Amino acid sequence: MATAVNTRADKVAHLSHFIDGRFVPTARSHFENRNPATGAIVNLVPEADPAVVDDAVKAAKRALKGPWGKMSEQQRSAILRKVADGIMARFDDFLAAEVLDTGKPKSLAAHIDIPRGAANFNIFADQVLTLSTETFRTATPDGAGALNYAIRVPRGVIGVICPWNLPLLLLTWKVAPALACGNTVVVKPSEETPTTATLLGEVMNEAGVPPGVYNVVHGFGGDSSGEYLTRHPGVDGITFTGETGTGTAIMRAAADGVRPVSLELGGKNASLVFADCDLDKTIEGVTRAVFANCGQVCLGTERVYVQRPILAAFTQRLKAAAERLQPGNPFDTATTIGPLISQAHRDKVLSYYARAKADGAEIVTGGGIPALPSPYSSGFFIAPTIWTGLAETSAVMREEIFGPCCSIVPFDDEDAAIALANDSPYGLATAIWTENLARAHRVAAQVEVGITWVNAWFLRDLRTPFGGSKQSGIGREGGVHSMEFYTELRNVCIKL
Ligand code: NAD
């Protein structure tokens, strides 16, 4: 099928914004979107100026009053199912685009990113059909009473700002519930991964989503399209996933106009490995938690606390697992770890590798850049790395690195493990590894995070509340919790 986006490694395409159901060519400056596995240019991407963002917001505003605003929940739900089907019908295009933009192994994107992108539309197509509100019968002095009931209305135009680590998955996680509830959206995908958001425009048109309901503007964050979008007074709510610092800036922007925000932010997550764990399962789980997607997962583990009796065995086995990871061509099925997203991000992660050394860490494995043949030698690969011996005060232990690395630290008892896990400004996720059920419940109740796994990592049921405590975010996504953000409740009181 002819497509407006590039899904091939051997040609460079021009991307467009997608506004009012059309791909909008623009003469304004284009930036290069590079394949992180090779450094080659994938797309030239336009940067939206304030006028382009304004066009997109106005198109979204008009669409609220058009057929979309008049549709029943059943009709919207049926269209969203067609969007899910459309993603699956174009599975190979989405897969190729995601792999070229991110460099992640094709096997990973085929297993998680693309199917979840489609599943997000199906789950919220279901969810919207079962949304309920409250009613109250209220006493009045005349004895006749009053009936109070709440109605749900869409918030309006939602600004959607997304990161690059799970581009389609995280974007659809916001777009699907927003549309299910009758909102319209203007999406600003990450400058690093603009392609699948654009391709989704084609699917929206094919599925019968009316023009203006889904819009995409490209560009950067501060002083670019991201900031223009969050500051635009026509945007009625903002949903953001990304770094905590960016979330803070977006919250400030949203204060003008007192607009609601949903923020899914960074993490510095702990795994707590107790001596009574099943070591085989734990090694498998912690290996994924640390190294999946080259460590670029908000839920990933960068602090691994291990009970002292199994410290040596655990460390030796995690080292072996890290050394088995195979970097290289993401399209090759033998590849199990891709590159970091960009040269700039690799420089940042390498600065933490240097910092760990300076802070006296012992390097268990890794620590540098792996030697790979051309063209992957020009990619942004980095060695999976494990440290021991770091103090809790080291920046490596406190700041989110977002790379394939972790620090192993021993603990003696349950209270110490909980205290270590909670000693962080972040509060996104914790994974507890133990075969002791009572311990699992005790610890889960005390860790200060939004998501706790016991003997699992990244095991998701999309109906459950997802989000961070402390500086890891505000609000919850998933199931009915997403719908709470994308609708406003209005109360009606009728005197009987
Ligand atoms: P980022 O904050 O740098 O960028 C995210 C998006 O925000 C991009 O589209 C960017 O262009 C835009 N942006 C940047 N500055 C902006 C501004 N001032 N105004 C408006 N938009 C702006 O994050 P990233 O590097 O793309 O992603 C990695 C981060 O995302 C990590 O911190 C990770 O933990 C976090 N993350 C969190 C979750 C979660 O669910 N909690 C999920 C995935 C990623």
The angle that helices 91-102 and 167-180 make with each other, rounded to 10 degrees, is: 130
Ligand 1 center–CA 446 separation, angstroms: 28
Distance, CA of 114 to chain centre: 13
Q: What is the pLDDT of residue 38?
A: 98
Q: What is the pLDDT of residue 450?
A: 98
Q: What is the pLDDT of residue 11?
A: 60
CB 106, CB 99: distance < 8 Å: yes
Which residue in 239, 229, 256 sits closest to 55, CA to CA? 229
Q: What is the pLDDT of residue 13?
A: 79
Q: Which of 294, 298, 405, 406 is catalytic?
A: 298
Q: What is the pLDDT of residue 289?
A: 98
Mutate to test the pocket of ligand 1, among 161, 252, 477 (most ligand atoms within 8 A of CB): 161
Q: Which CATH architecture has domain 13-265+472-495?
A: 3-Layer(aba) Sandwich (3.40)
Give me the long-range contacts of 453-460 (CB less than 8 A, separation at least 24): 453/429, 455/277, 455/278, 455/281, 455/282, 455/285, 456/285, 456/431, 457/271, 457/285, 457/286, 457/288, 457/289, 457/299, 457/301, 457/431, 458/288, 458/289, 458/292, 458/297, 458/299
Q: What is the pLDDT of residue 486?
A: 98
Q: What is the pTM of this model?
A: 0.96
Q: Whose CA is nearest to atom 34 of ligand 1?
A: 266
Q: In this structure, are strands 41-46 and 135-138 parallel, antiparallel, or unpaired? A: unpaired
Q: Is 264 in the active site?
A: yes
Q: What is the pLDDT of residue 8?
A: 56
The CATH 3.40.605.10 domain(s) of the chain lie at 13-265+472-495
Structure tokens at 302: 């960068």
The dihedral formed by the CA atoms of 3, 6, 12 and 15, expressed in degrees to the nearest 10? 70
Domain 269-461 has CATH 3.90.1580.10: no
Q: What is the pLDDT of residue 80?
A: 98
Low-confidence ranges of the chain (pLDDT < 70): 1-12, 28
Q: Which residues line ligand 1 (CB under 6 A)?
A: 161-165, 170, 188, 190-191, 220-222, 226-227, 230, 241-243, 246, 249-250, 264-267, 298, 400, 402, 428, 468, 472-473
